[in-house]
Structure 1
Amino acid sequence: MGISTHILDTAVGRPASGVAVGLSLLEGEEWRTLRTETTDADGRCKAMLAEGEALTVGVYRLRFATATYYEAQGLSGLYPFVEIAFEVRDAGQHFHIPLLLTANGYTTYRGS
């Protein structure tokens, strides 16, 4: 299966497009970057793993570069980036990790 994400700017009620999102895998004590994508016009990154790369059991991290997004909106956000770490215990499942964002707060959950 795979990993996907999307960002909704809840302050304005629309997707956050053009945000760089990095995916990393924890190997021992170090994070290894697997891929960097940019959210599309709908605020989505539909496939964070590279084509042909299999999802494996492990601890992953999504890193959202929110400072650039805030600047483009003419805002000064509190969080220059947001990192969400999550554990894949069953590589046969799909992991959709959304980010609900405002300039002064955020939340996440496991989506479908």
Structure 2
Amino acid sequence: MTGYLTTHVLDTARGCPAAGLKIELFRIDGAARDLLKTLTTNADGRTDVQILPADEFETGTYELVFHAGAYLDANGTPPESPRFLDLIPLRFGMSEQDHYHVPLLLSPFGYSTYRGS
């Protein structure tokens, strides 16, 4: 099997996919943190393409940064200053050629993630 990376973001407070949420992917190598790409979720809360497709996949340490604050602002969540959740960084390792799915369940005051399928 060839590896690849996907995500799915659900807005648990509103009970719907989190459409229009900006996501950045970084590769971590020691102290270096290199931005590989920036994507935005579609109407289903997924990206239109795999975050890291098979032809770009490498094992290693990565970080997804979910721009939750901007998403919450755009969707009418009452603003706070500063917002409790703004940027949500998820750092994780991919150790084998496999499908890694990193979903985010989001609300204004909490989030959850796991290795999905």
2:113 pairs with 105, 108, 111, which one? 108
The CA deviation at 1:30 is: 1.4
The CA deviation at 1:50 is: 5.9
Q: Which amino acid aligns with 1:52?
A: D
Do the aligned residues in 1 keep the contact of 2:11 with 2:107 (CA within 8 Å)?
A: yes
3-state SS, counterpart of residue 70 of structure 2: helix
For 1:14 and 1:74, the matched residues in 2 are separated by 14
Do the aligned residues in 2 keep the contact of 1:35 with 1:49 (CA within 8 Å)?
A: no
3-state SS, counterpart of residue 55 of structure 2: coil
Match of 1:81 in 2: 87
For 1:68 and 1:51, the matched residues in 2 are separated by 30
Do the aligned residues in 2 keep the contact of 1:25 with 1:33 (CA within 8 Å)?
A: yes
Do the aligned residues in 1 keep the contact of 2:65 with 2:87 (CA within 8 Å)?
A: yes
The CA deviation at 1:51 is: 7.5
> Structure 1 length as normaliser, TM-score?
0.91
For 1:98 and 1:82, the matched residues in 2 are separated by 12
The CA deviation at 1:78 is: 1.4
Equivalent positions of 1:1-112 (< 5 A) are: 1-45=3-47, 46-49=49-52, 52-53=55-56, 55-75=57-77, 76=79, 77-90=83-96, 92-112=97-117
> Structure 2 length as normaliser, TM-score?
0.88
RMSD over aligned Cα atoms: 1.4
Percent of pairs identical after alignment? 39
The CA deviation at 1:98 is: 0.2
For 2:64 and 2:100, the matched residues in 1 are separated by 12
Gaps of 5+ in 1: none
Of residues 44-53 and 63-72 in structure 1, the stretch that sits farther from structure 2 once superposed is: 44-53
